[in-house]
Amino acid sequence: MPAKPLQVVVVGGSLGGLFAGIVFKRLGHAVRIFERNPTPLLHDQGAGIVAGGDAQAFFSKYDRTRHPIAVPSKLRHYLDKDGNQIHREHTTQQMTSWDLLYHLLRANFDGVQSEYCELPPSASGDGSGSYEYGHLVHGVRDRGDGKVEVDFEDRAGNKSSQSVDMLIGSDGASSTLRKILLPDVKREYAGYVAWRGTVPENEVSKAAKEAFVEKFAFYHSEGVQILSYTIPGKHGSLEVGKRLVNYVWYCNYPQDSDEYKELMTDSDGHHHHTTLPVGKMRNEIWEQQKEYARRILPPQFAEIVEKTKQPFIQAITDVLSPRNSFFDGKVLLIGDAVAGFRPHTAASTSQAAFDALMLDELMSGKIDNDEWQEKTMGYAREIQRRGVEMGQRSQFGHHPLSR
């Protein structure tokens, strides 16, 4: 433990904030995570995640539960409209779920018990960690004495401030902290959405299992892409038959169209800008989409759409901050708060993990702030650019395996 632990606040309590919080705690510092959600646990939307190399590296280094995190995908293949395989690549990738990673990280950071894993032992040298939900950050300013002042409101509505040594912004693509620091940086809709959902592995047909189980499957046609892979099931189960078949289906909707406005209006009449959450989709909208799936998708994909009980919608957006370090490095942005990648890259979780791994190097003195910025901003710019190219080709261009 350092002679004088740093006081650190992390804004945002999803995966990226937990990555950062664990790094600082393991280095012996005192960490508070401020999460704006009003409940003690964030609730899973049912999202699958590709566990890239940086995410795997983070869990290998920091996860004391030693719980397996992924289902292997051993084949990447493409289907035509009739469901026949037209291309295959023998590539192994690791597929996981948001909820499994979240509960493993909470077990490591603040000892939250769950049915996902056993709690890991603490170790000498660890700092402290608290996860404080219902906390909203309203302002930040440089005190001029090596610290920054953070203004926030707690879940009881009490307004307060804290002097901290480091402030980390990991509050997503619509980051409040980024808006405070860089109010001109805007998150822009890209012209299409992702329909998302999961189906229990034991509820899909033999043909669908052959297409999707432990495989990364794709179908492309004009203006449409759908993909699917197997992820851990309830409470992170990796047992065959108890896992989930996860899919992402991209469809185009012009921003000013009536169709898009209807799509993002929930069953209570509320309009959503970025995500239509689980349980809020209007029945008539979902019935129309299932009928559309039957008309245009390969039968295996149409089947898993049809069998989805809890669909949700994610609007695809772009945002890229011009910088991620402020107040002489005392305030840093990481993950989606820096660059909101399009999901085609399968890299958002890996970006957050990479940024946290680089935080470890920065705080351990292996690199300086300039090097940290160069590495993390270089990653953000390159993957963000690549995601835009992939999305534009998929939705508005011609994919070479389009059928």
pLDDT in tens, 237-272: 999 999 999 999 999 999 999 999 999 999 999 999
Distance CA 25, CA 122 (A): 11
pLDDT range class, residue 403, cuts 50, 70, 90: low
- Is the model's pLDDT at 2 over the cut of 90? no
Distance CA 73, CA 82 (A): 23
Q: How confident is the model at residue 401, as a pLDDT? A: 66
Q: How confident is the model at residue 248, as a pLDDT? A: 98
Residue 24, both tokens: 């600082």
- Is the model's pLDDT at 313 over the cut of 90? yes
Distance CA 79, CA 99 (A): 29
Over residues 1-19, mean pLDDT? 92
Query: In a 3-state reduction of DSSP, which class is residue 46?
Result: coil
Q: Which of 35-44, 92-101, 108-117, 316-325 bottoms out in mean pLDDT, i.e. has the lowest?
A: 35-44
Is residue 235 within 8 Å of 114, Cβ to Cβ? yes
DSSP code of 191? E
Q: Which helix (H) or strand (E) holds 20?
A: helix 15-26
Is residue 319 within 8 Å of 188, Cβ to Cβ? yes
Q: Are strands 216-221 and 76-79 parallel, antiparallel or unpaired?
A: parallel
- Is the model's pLDDT at 27 over the cut of 80? yes
pLDDT range class, residue 45, cuts 50, 70, 90: low
Over residues 316-323, mean pLDDT? 98
DSSP codes of every residue in 136-188 = EEEEEEE-SSS-EEEEEE-TTS-EEEEEESEEEE---TT-HHHHHH-TT---E
Which residues 6+ apart lie within 8 Å of 175 measured at CB?
11, 12, 169, 333, 336, 337
Is residue 167 within 8 Å of 331, Cβ to Cβ? yes
Q: How confident is the model at residue 399, as a pLDDT? A: 73
Distance CA 83, CA 86 (A): 9
Q: How confident is the model at residue 1, as a pLDDT? A: 55
- Is the model's pLDDT at 152 over the cut of 70? yes
Amino acid at 116: Y
Distance CA 247, CA 295 (A): 18
Convert 208-225 to b/e letters by CB count within 10 Å (16 or more is b): bbebbbbbbbbbbeeebb
Is residue 8 within 8 Å of 165, Cβ to Cβ? yes
Q: pLDDT tens digits, residue range 76-100?
A: 999 999 999 999 999 999 999 999 9
Q: Which of 42-56, 283-297, 351-365 bottoms out in mean pLDDT, i.e. has the lowest?
A: 42-56
Number of residues in the chain: 403
Is residue 108 within 8 Å of 100, Cβ to Cβ? no
pLDDT range class, residue 122, cuts 50, 70, 90: confident
Q: How confident is the model at residue 325, as a pLDDT? A: 98
DSSP code of 33? E
Q: pLDDT tens digits, residue range 193-244?
A: 999 999 999 999 999 999 999 999 999 999 999 999 999 999 999 999 999 9
Over residues 169-186, mean pLDDT? 98
Q: What is the mean pLDDT of the chain?
A: 96
